[in-house]
Amino acid sequence: MATIFSKIIAGEIPSYKVAEDDKFYAFLDINPLVKGHTLVVPKREVDYIFDLEDDELAAMQIFAKKLALAIQKAFPCKKVGQAVIGLEVPHAHIHLIPIQKESDMLFSNPKLSFSNEEFAAIAAAIHKAWEENAD
């Protein structure tokens, strides 16, 4: 059975997409730790990130690097932190989290909630920076 992330990639479930190429899809985490919290997912469905092929993992990290630069452009922050957990959704993904301080990365923190319009505006801002950086 397809994972929820495969359904998102296929467009069967809505998401706030920020970037995509032939191998990877990036969208806003629906329960964000901070504004701009984004997930990077390989289109090929693999549960554990360290089961990806070497070239696939390398390409995913490069995609995440480019996206982190776009996130930081859209939402100025000290750094974009990266985390891999994967205990909830069995489809490999990287969390990219714009942080001002270490505790912004704590997954036990209360999650933020945004309206549809706010999520859409956040996604649009990151997407715009992603497109600008590609020029």
Closest contact distance (angstroms) between CB of 51 and ligand AMP is: 15
Count of Cβ atoms closer than 10 Å to residue 33 Cβ: 23
Pairing of strands 38-42, 17-20: unpaired
Round the CA-based radius of gyration of the chain to a whole number and report it.
14
The interface with ligand AMP within residues 95-114 (CB under 6 A) comprises none
Q: Is there binding between residue 20 and ligand AMP (CB under 6 A)?
A: no
d(CA 17, CA 7): 13
Closest contact distance (angstroms) between CB of 116 and ligand AMP is: 13
Q: Is there binding between residue 42 and ligand AMP (CB under 6 A)?
A: no
Q: Is there binding between residue 38 and ligand AMP (CB under 6 A)?
A: no
Q: Which long-range contacts (CB under 8 A, 24 or more apart) does 41-44 make?
A: 41/5, 41/8, 41/9, 41/91, 41/92, 41/93, 42/92, 43/9
Q: Is there binding between residue 85 and ligand AMP (CB under 6 A)?
A: yes
Candidates 49-57, 70-78, 80-88, 115-123 — which segment interacts with ligand AMP by CB under 6 A? 80-88
- Using CB under 6 A, list all residues that contact ligand AMP: 4, 15, 29-31, 39, 85-89
Active site residues: 93
